[in-house]
Amino acid sequence: MTEIDVRQRILAANEAAAAEVRSRYRDEGTLVINLISSPGSGKTTLLEKTVARLGGRLRLAAIEGDIATERDADRLRATGIPARQILTGGACHLDARQVQGALAEAAFPAHDILLIENVGNLICPTSYDLGEDLKVALLSVAEGDDKPFKYPAIFSRAQVTVITKADLLPHVTFDVAAVRQQVSVLNPQGRLLVTSARSGEGMGEWCGLLEDLLAAKRAARA
Ligand SMILES: Nc1nc2c(ncn2[C@@H]2O[C@H](COP(=O)(O)OP(=O)(O)O)[C@@H](O)[C@H]2O)c(=O)[nH]1
Ligand SMILES: [Mg+2]
């Protein structure tokens, strides 16, 4: 078997598991989000603030993907929601079977939104469907405004790009309009949000988007 055959088999197995996750959550009317970004761009912080805003009226649960440590799952549990850590043991992305395994072990109570934080990088997580409704790419203003064209696969597949740490804009060189332009070329239907977990900028829009998508999913089911 060639390397390409092996890769195709792995992706086919992943697709099958992702389809099962998607089918389960279609039936349950739960929205599933897959967050992808470089390490440190603010995924866990965005989730903490999302729980702070939506946790009172929606039931949230989280799956955290990392190479090592329970730190991110601990951070999410500290916000009061159930969270499960997946340790990939070196792999640079989550796959749908790991998500199925984590869901089986965690046995979360019924939830309205499942928040999945992928392993931090802009490359490997791109090809692995986890059964999500929405891939979200985060890009912090400290990372440089050239990243969408340098990592086109993720920015063309993510339905939503979230610029994070906008509070740091006065201190860094980062042209939001340039990022908007690149994303619009790669992904004409994609949405771009400018946020700061620290100042709260854009957080209402982000949480409103999640609520709208959840309502749309439930309306489609009905
Ligand atoms: N200034 C600023 N720092 C932030 C913001 N969001 C996250 N951070 C910081 O960025 C670092 C990495 O955040 P984290 O959420 O752990 O990133 P992750 O690795 O993508 O999950 C932490 O020190 C956060 O406090 C923000 O909106 N503004
Ligand atoms: Mg994190």
User: The domain spanning residue 44 has which CATH number?
Assistant: 3.40.50.300
CA of 138 to the centre of ligand 2 (A): 12
Q: Would you say residue 5 lies in a domain?
A: no
- Domain encompassing residue 21: 13-216
- The CA-to-CA distance between both ends of the chain, in Å, stands at 45
Residue matched to tokens 């195709």: 8
One-letter amino acid at 69 equals T
CA of 125 to the centre of ligand 1 (A): 20
**Does residue 75 register a pLDDT over 80?**
yes
3-state secondary structure of 83: strand
Q: Would you say residue 118 lies in a domain?
A: yes
Average pLDDT over residues 90-109: 97
- The neighbourhood of ligand 2, an ion, using CB within 5 A, equals 43-44, 72
Q: Would you say residue 169 lies in a domain?
A: yes
pLDDT of residue 187: 97
3-state secondary structure of 183: helix
> What distance in Å separates the CA atoms of residue 188 and residue 184, rounded to the nearest whole number?
5
The reported pTM is: 0.97
Q: Would you say residue 48 lies in a domain?
A: yes
| Residue ID of nearest Cα to ligand 1 atom 19 | 40
Question: Is residue 197 classed exposed, middle or buried when 0-12, 13-18 and 19+ CB atoms within 10 A define those classes?
Answer: buried
**Does residue 145 register a pLDDT over 90?**
yes
Domain count for the chain: 1
Q: Would you say residue 119 lies in a domain?
A: yes
> What distance in Å separates the CA atoms of residue 1 and residue 207, rounded to the nearest whole number?
46
Q: Would you say residue 134 lies in a domain?
A: yes
Q: Would you say residue 6 lies in a domain?
A: no
Please report which residue ranges of 59-202 form alpha helices under DSSP H. 71-78, 96-106, 147-150, 152-157, 176-186
> What distance in Å separates the CA atoms of residue 126 and residue 158, rounded to the nearest whole number?
9
**Does residue 166 register a pLDDT over 90?**
yes
C-alpha of 33 from chain center: 5
Q: Would you say residue 106 lies in a domain?
A: yes
